[in-house]
Amino acid sequence: MIDDTLTISKGNNGKLELHPEAVSTEELGESITEPIRAEAAKKKLTFILDKSGYRPRNIFADRLSLQKIFLNLLSNAVKYTPEGGHIWVTVKDEPVNSPEPDTVFIIRDDGIGISSEFLPIIFEPFT
């Protein structure tokens, strides 16, 4: 968490160094979902990946930063979802049928969630 807060601080100060490269969304997705799928299975969680509303393509991005973000989100989903629960990952294009859509990732689980009292300060440093 401290590393993430420091990364945000660097970004806010213009000191965050990114390393953009051509990235296959399909390869990126597999590198993220396969280890999470295995961890979810160990905990007897149902992992559901829906890519029906998306078409694979290449993007220009910092591969390691994206992997870190998604692995963090999904690892927390596995960690805080009780045995027998579900984790859903939906990947879709918006706007639909656009020649250059945005790729939207929706991650849901039926874990404990974040308390409503904490939500207003969730992005404050060291909170």
pLDDT at 25 over 70: yes
**Residue type at 31?**
S
Q: How many CA atoms lie within 13 A of 39 on its CB side?
A: 17
pLDDT at 99 over 90: no
Q: How confident is the model at residue 31 (pLDDT cuts 50, 70, 90)?
A: very high
The verdict on pTM exceeding 0.85 is no
Residues 39 and 77: beta-carbon distance below 8 Å: no
Neighbours of 34 (CB within 10 A): 10
Q: What structural domains does the chain harbor?
A: 19-121 (3.30.565.10)
Helix segments in the chain, DSSP class H: 2-12, 25-42, 63-80
Residues 86 and 45: beta-carbon distance below 8 Å: yes
| pLDDT tens-digit series, residues 32-67 | 999 999 999 999 999 999 999 888 989 899 999 899
> What was the pLDDT predicted at 21?
94
